[in-house]
Structure 1
Amino acid sequence: MKNRNFLVMLFMAIFTVIGVTSCNDDDEEGRKVTDYKEYTLTVASVKLPGVLTSSGSNVLTDVYAVKNEQSTDWEAQGSIGKFEYEEGYEYQIRISETSYLDYSMGDPAW
């Protein structure tokens, strides 16, 4: 009788371990970081008129003129998170850009 109870408990333990580990598949769930970059932007001392596209419509507004550390050309930037801008000062700010692969988004379009 003790042998039988031991075997039942052993099989239950094995099936429990298999069940728990099969549900824990970290490669297929949540977001996975695919790229991370840090670089310095130069923000011009004045904002310039520019066009921003939001939800399919174009909006005329003042935008930041920014230049990446590897570039010589100025580009328009609509907003910069957690940045307090005061006109008349040129800024050099260090920013980061993170790209994610989000498995919860479902199947890719292709």
Structure 2
Amino acid sequence: MRTKIYLRTLLIAFVTILGLTACMNEDEPKDITKEVTMYVSSETGIMYDLFDSEGEFPIECMLVKEQGEDEYRPLAFCGIQGFEYEKGYEYDLRVNKTTLANPPADGSIYKYQLVRVVEKRQVGNPNEAE
């Protein structure tokens, strides 16, 4: 008799644990963050808003590339959280690059957070008029 009660209790516990673990959603996508080196050009570039299909309203932006990339690409001045861009300077940065699992429909799949400014170099003559 005791064995039946023990086996019944064990079976109920097993089914309960199995049911609870089945409800856990391990397939939910997660953001992935890694630290990368990013280079910021002393020159600015032009980009266009996602909804400016005619290219009528250019937006000034900084030009960036990650270590291993050959060409600079545009990124909004506010594109790296914690970083303040100054024209006429080149930067070597360490940033946390987060690949968003659920990015906004009208935005980038990447988010950048400044870790530290490795180097800031002035380019050109500081007395030149802009």
TM-score range relative to shorter protein: 0.5 to 0.7
TM-score (norm 1): 0.59
Q: Quick one: higher RCO (CA 8 Å, sep 6+), 1 or 2?
A: 1
Normalising by structure 2, we get a TM-score of 0.52
* Deviation at residue 100 of structure 1 after TM alignment: 4.9
Note if contact 1:43-1:92 (Cα within 8 Å) is conserved in structure 2: no
1:39 & 1:75 partners in 2: Cα distance? 15
CA deviation profile, 1:42-91 (whole Å, cap 9, x unmatched): 321x434x23223x225322111335444554433223322112233222
Q: Of residues 37, 40, 63 in structure 2, which corresponds to 1:39? A: 37
Structure 2 unmatched ranges of 5 or more = 103-130
Question: Residues 98 and 60 of structure 1: is their aligned pair in 2 closer, same or farther, counting only changes over 3 Å?
Answer: same
Secondary structure at 1:90's aligned position in 2? strand
Structure 1 runs not aligned, ≥5 long = 103-110
Matched residue type, 1:51: M
Figure out how many residues of one structure are paired with residues of the other and give that number: 97
Tell me which residue corresponds to 2:48.
52
* Partners of 1:18 and 1:69 in 2: CA distance: 46
Distance 1:4 1:69 in 2: 66
Q: Indicate conservation of the 8 Å contact 2:39/2:67, yes or no.
A: yes
Deviation at 1:2, TM superposition (A): 3.9
Correspondences of 1:17-32 after superposition (within 5 Å) = 17-26=17-26, 28-31=27-30
- 1:29 counterpart letter in structure 2: E
Name whichever structure is richer in helix by fraction.
1
| CA-based RMSD | 3.1
1:78 aligns with 2:76: yes
Cα distance, 1:31 vs structure 2? 1.7
